[in-house]
Amino acid sequence: MPSPEPAVVRSPAAPFLIAEGVAKAFGGAQALSDVSLAMAPGEVHGLVGANGAGKSTLIRILAGLVTPDRGRIRLDGEDITVSSPQHATALGMSFIHQELAFIPGMTVLQNIMLGVPKATRFGMIDWGRIAREVEPVARRVGITAPLSSNVKGLSTAENWLINICRALVRKARLIVMDEPTASLSASESRKLFAIVEDLARSGVAVLYVSHRLDEILRLCDRVTVFRDGRSVAGFARAELSHAGLVEAIVGGAVRRTTKPAEPPPQGVVALKVSNLARRPKVEGVSFDLHHGEVLGIGGLVGAGRSELARLIYGADAPDTGTMELDGAPYAPHRPADAVAAGLGLVPEERRADGLVLTKSVAFNLTIPNLAKIVHSPLLPLIDDRRRSALAEQTVRDLAIKTTGIEAPVGRLSGGNQQKVVIGRWLIRAPKVLILDEPTRGVDIGARGEIHRLIRDLAAEGVAVLVISSEPDEQPDLCDRVLVMVEGRIVRELKGAELTRQAIIEASYARAAAAEETPS
């Protein structure tokens, strides 16, 4: 991620949107008990808090998806109730979520105009006129793809620009951005920051929701902190500090997870990867992963790390190379083969690839563990009592915040969803566990809990492979880090040389500079 830089100090203005004492309960559990927030024109306002603190619930209330139980929302001095997403749009509010709203198969222009009233001519949509009106807005936010091109194949960053352009076409006064850089590279993030600052200069208010505190410090004029359904702190630009935000978020000092002072003695090789390739993304990768070890795979977005994980897990077939698991040949043809052999994978996109969002917490925890909850091998019917006991025990062990094991997993916060994905593999007790971006979109408190889970697994002898784009994460967590560049491992870091700076430097090295790969 880009290094923090001072935010541009903007002149304060009177708030046009004020939420006061807002509360909302779901299924008897209090999602919000007392939160307040005020937005001014041209302000970048940070909203931070642990997963489950209530940020998403307030956003859903502002978007007209949820009606508050009490409290008031005022717009331009008038009390309002946002009755629907269409009403929110009419009031000048636009929302850009982590799961971006776009339709593959449609053009850039058609996606920009989703839900926007369209000019017509002779009873038909006048796309030519619309394109002429949208073109300057698209240029302003940096869309380089032709408006007539298909959005299929565009990057996440380009789809973010499409969503921002849609908000401006709708003449939004307030744009809410939820974890905008979670899937962006450093250079893409810098471009987004420039756009946010340009929006603020033009008078648009931006509510910026992020777990990345360096971004909050860089961009925001003010910050509001939510904790346990309450707004517990507010900071002006001059009062902002990383330590102050962390204390407000968690309600005290953060307990850091530390790896052993001395690297654990390398145990038996659990997974041996030799010259594995699937071109052009993975080029001749070799390494050993030991039982009881946390091995990091570092590098920039697009370096081939997730593609390597897919090869190991049997989701893709390699062009060349071999693997061994506990000394025996290992060549999975599909993920089911990997699971049967004792591997587990926590995927990068948990909502798309790791969870069935409409199904319950219990369902998602027990997907790969059906053999543990059937009556008997001869009577393979689910034993509801066993299923409930297994799910409830895992929820307790991982401190998953949920109204119950039958609650839809899609209603959980990001950190608790991630715990569910990890929890299903804890039940299965894998030999090797691959975690791809295990703390993406997770607050600082849940991040520490996930790190402790990973270290506990390693202490029990599990071989853990951690893929992360955050160079701050791996030095605290991993025993070794292999840095990938352009599909190759270019450097192995361990001991005193395993630092954030070393990971960053190696990530920007040229793959051609590395003729040998560590094992």
Residues 337 and 445 in one domain: yes
CATH of the domain at 281: 3.40.50.300
- Model pTM score: 0.61
Q: What is the pLDDT of residue 1?
A: 47
Q: What is the pLDDT of residue 287?
A: 97
Instruction: Choose from 158-162, 175-179, 322-326 the range with maximum mean pLDDT.
Output: 322-326
In a domain, 181, yes or no: no
Q: 406 vs 24, 67, 370, 402, 438, CA distance in Å?
A: 20, 23, 17, 9, 24
Residues 247, 250, 254, 257, CA torsion sign: negative
Amino acid code (one letter) for 166: R
In a domain, 385, yes or no: yes
The partner residues of 325 in beta bridges, in order of sequence, read 271, 328
Higher pLDDT, 489 or 510: 489
Q: Phi and psi dihedrals of 274, rounded to 5?
A: -130, 115
Q: What is the pLDDT of residue 449?
A: 83
Domain boundary among 172, 195, 224: 172
Instruction: Choose from 117-126, 208-217, 335-344 the range with maximum mean pLDDT.
Output: 335-344
Residues 325 and 355 in one domain: no
The partner residues of 96 in beta bridges, in order of sequence, read 177
* pLDDT tens, residue by residue, 446-503: 788 889 889 999 999 999 999 987 777 889 899 999 999 888 999 999 998 998 878 8
Mean pLDDT of the chain: 85
In a domain, 359, yes or no: yes
Q: What is the pLDDT of residue 153?
A: 74
- 378 sits in the region (left: phi over 0; alpha: psi -120 to 50; else beta) called alpha
DSSP-derived letter for residue 292 is T
In a domain, 382, yes or no: yes
Q: What is the pLDDT of residue 511?
A: 35
Residues 407 and 467 in one domain: no
**Which pLDDT band holds residue 3 (cuts at 50, 70, 90)?**
very low
Residues 152 and 290 in one domain: no
* pLDDT tens, residue by residue, 330-385: 999 999 999 999 999 998 877 778 888 899 999 999 888 888 888 777 777 888 88
In a domain, 78, yes or no: no
DSSP-derived 3-state class of residue 312: helix
Alpha-carbon distance of 210 to 470, in angstroms, equals 15
Residues 324 and 404 in one domain: no
Higher pLDDT, 345 or 428: 345
In a domain, 11, yes or no: no
Alpha-carbon distance of 449 to 435, in angstroms, equals 15
Q: What is the pLDDT of residue 499?
A: 87
In a domain, 23, yes or no: no
**Which pLDDT band holds residue 12 (cuts at 50, 70, 90)?**
low
CB 259 within 8 A of CB 295: no
CB 184 within 8 A of CB 157: yes
pLDDT at residue 506 greater than cutoff 60: yes
Q: What is the pLDDT of residue 282?
A: 93
Higher pLDDT, 489 or 6: 489
The partner residues of 323 in beta bridges, in order of sequence, read 273
Domain boundary among 146, 172, 198: 172
Domain boundary among 172, 194, 226: 172
In a domain, 491, yes or no: yes
Q: Residues 38-42: contacts with CB within 8 Å, 24+ apart?
A: 39/15, 39/174, 39/205, 39/207, 40/12, 40/13, 40/14, 40/15, 40/16, 40/205, 41/13, 41/16, 41/173, 41/203, 41/204, 41/205, 42/10, 42/13, 42/200, 42/201, 42/202, 42/203, 42/204, 42/205
Alpha-carbon distance of 201 to 182, in angstroms, equals 24
Residues 437 and 517 in one domain: yes
Tokens linked to 259: 């790896």
Residues 514 and 442 in one domain: yes
- 475 sits in the region (left: phi over 0; alpha: psi -120 to 50; else beta) called alpha
Residues 450 and 319 in one domain: yes
Residues 322 and 406 in one domain: no
The partner residues of 408 in beta bridges, in order of sequence, read 360
Domains in the chain, number: 3
* pLDDT tens, residue by residue, 81-91: 999 999 999 99
Q: How many residues does the chain have?
A: 519
Residues 353 and 494 in one domain: no
Q: 57 vs 64, 220, 267, 315, 411, CA distance in Å?
A: 11, 21, 46, 36, 10
Tokens linked to 442: 């997770």
Amino acid code (one letter) for 87: H
Alpha-carbon distance of 284 to 511, in angstroms, equals 12
Structural domain containing residue 367: 348-413
Q: What contacts 122, CB < 8 A, 6 or more positions away?
A: none
Residues 280 and 329 in one domain: yes
Residues 289 and 403 in one domain: no
Q: What is the pLDDT of residue 184?
A: 75
